[in-house]
Amino acid sequence: MKTLLQQSTNYPGTNPPRTFASFFRQWVSICSVNSPVQGTYFLQVQTGKKIDGTAAPNGGGSNRFSIRVGAGSNYAASNGLHVYGNQKMGAYANATGANTQFFLTRVLPGEAGKTLVLNFYDTGDASQPGTLAVLPPTDSNLGGSFANCVFTQPPGNATGPPWGTFSNTGSGCAISGVSNSGTPNYNGQWVTWEIPIPGTYTCNSADPLGCWTKLQFVYPPGTNVSDTTTWSAYILGEPVRLIQ
């Protein structure tokens, strides 16, 4: 890493070519849209080439980075712009003994009475088992937890989705013992969750930070975490937004 940061080489994998130090752990503008119109703009990330421009035919490498969108220099959450995953989204957790909550899907009041379906792949890559929970929006009328959640236990990646037979989660829409070793083993496995949205559900859809369900992953203190996961989400035939 020290060598990369000190070198003066410009990498053709950037446009315009830049030194490694100029984009390592720094915000870098990758594109701009003049006179934008309201709509959806897609950002596609591929691992077909390495940063030096040479081919990576086996897709080697990991795309681990942050994305933000702004109107001019305005990157505030209130700027009316949103970044979210389409169909599937990956996330990388590497904090020792993590107790983390982050935005998962936005469920608007019109989805009351329906069912949120989540698929998670390859969770639990850590030195000790963790606990995974799906939490309702903090601005909703559901309190601190969903009820009557079900999920499919691994193994179950041979067919599906859904993968396997549904069983009840623990209280608070949570499951414990999520690990890449032992029994059950979540390594390289898909699991499906179904979360009923009560008919009385409501939240503040006028707030861009309102109506977001959250994912909570808790590991014991001192746990070495190196978990790269993939998720998908939908409301029984209706698309929903994913965000990290």
Question: Considering the chain, what percentage of its residues have pLDDT values greater than 70?
Answer: 85
Instruction: Single out the residue of 233, 197, 203, 235 nearest to residue 138, CA to CA.
Output: 203
Residue 1 has pLDDT above 80, yes or no: no
Residue 2 has pLDDT above 70, yes or no: yes
Each domain of the chain, given as residue ranges in start order, spans: 1-83, 89-244
For residues 156-174, average pLDDT = 80
Q: Which residue has the higher pLDDT, 199 or 58?
A: 199
Q: Which residue has the higher pLDDT, 164 or 109?
A: 109
Convert the pLDDT of each residue in 213-232 to its tens digit: 998 888 888 888 887 788 88
Least confident window among 120-134, 197-211, 226-240: 226-240
Residue 205: per-residue pLDDT: 92
For residues 71-97, average pLDDT = 78
How far apart are alpha carbons 40 and 30 in whole angstroms?
Answer: 17
Residue 138: per-residue pLDDT: 94
Local confidence band at 160 (pLDDT 50, 70, 90 cut-offs)? low
Residue 65 has pLDDT above 70, yes or no: yes
Partnered with residue 228 across adjacent β-strands are 92
Residue 58: per-residue pLDDT: 62
Partnered with residue 229 across adjacent β-strands are 91
How far apart are alpha carbons 81 and 74 in whole angstroms?
Answer: 10
For residues 80-94, average pLDDT = 75
State the DSSP code for 225: B
Residue 156: per-residue pLDDT: 58
Q: Which residue has the higher pLDDT, 149 or 239?
A: 149
Q: Could you count the other beta carbons within 10 Å of the beta carbon of residue 141? A: 12
* C-alpha torsion 51→55→61→62, nearest 10: 70
Local confidence band at 121 (pLDDT 50, 70, 90 cut-offs)? confident
Residue 44: per-residue pLDDT: 77
Residue 51 has pLDDT above 70, yes or no: no
Own/partner long-range contacts of 38-45 (Cβ < 8 Å, ≥24 apart): 42/86, 43/67
Tokens of 175: 């499951």
Query: Model-level pTM?
Result: 0.74
State the DSSP code for 10: P
Class of domain 89-244: mainly beta
Residue type, 226: S
Spatial neighbors of 212 by CB under 8 A, at least 6 apart, are 103, 104, 105, 106, 107, 137, 243
Average pLDDT, the chain: 83
Question: How far is CA 79 from each of CA 37, 59, 216, rounded to the nearest angstrom?
Answer: 15, 35, 27
How far apart are alpha carbons 168 and 130 in whole angstroms?
Answer: 18
